[in-house]
C-alpha cells in the first residue's frame, strides 16, 4: 500500500481533508500519524501532534 501525505485544515473540533491521503506528520516528533488516529492538533498554528505529550511540549515552548 502506498502511503500518501494528506493536506488538512485543522478546525476547533474536527479537521477538513483538503487533499486525500492516509497520514500527516507530527510537528514535534516527525512521526507519521494515521488519519484515523489523529486526535491532537493546534488550530492557530495548523499543526498536528502525535499524542498529548507532543501537544504539551509545544504548549510549554510557546
Residue 1 lies in a domain: no
Residue 2 lies in a domain: no
Residue 32 lies in a domain: yes
Q: For 11-22, how does the pLDDT look when each residue is reduced to its tens digit (9 = 90+)?
A: 999 999 999 999
* Domain total of the chain: 1
Residue 48: burial class (beta carbons within 10 Å; 0-12, 13-18, 19+): buried
Averaged confidence pLDDT in the chain:
94
Residue 30 lies in a domain: yes
Residue 18 lies in a domain: yes
DSSP string of 36-55, one letter each residue: GG--EEETTTTEEESSHHHH
Residue 49 lies in a domain: yes
Structural domain including 30 reads 7-60
Residue 23 lies in a domain: yes
Q: What pTM does this model have? A: 0.90
Amino acid at each position: 500500500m502506498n502511503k500518501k501525505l494528506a493536506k488538512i485544515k485543522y478546525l476547533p473540533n474536527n479537521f477538513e481533508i483538503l487533499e486525500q491521503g492516509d497520514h500527516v506528520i507530527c510537528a514535534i516528533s516527525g512521526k507519521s500519524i494515521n488519519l484515523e488516529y489523529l486526535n491532537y492538533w493546534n488550530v492557530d498554528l495548523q499543526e498536528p501532534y502525535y499524542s498529548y505529550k507532543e501537544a504539551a511540549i509545544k504548549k510549554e515552548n510557546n
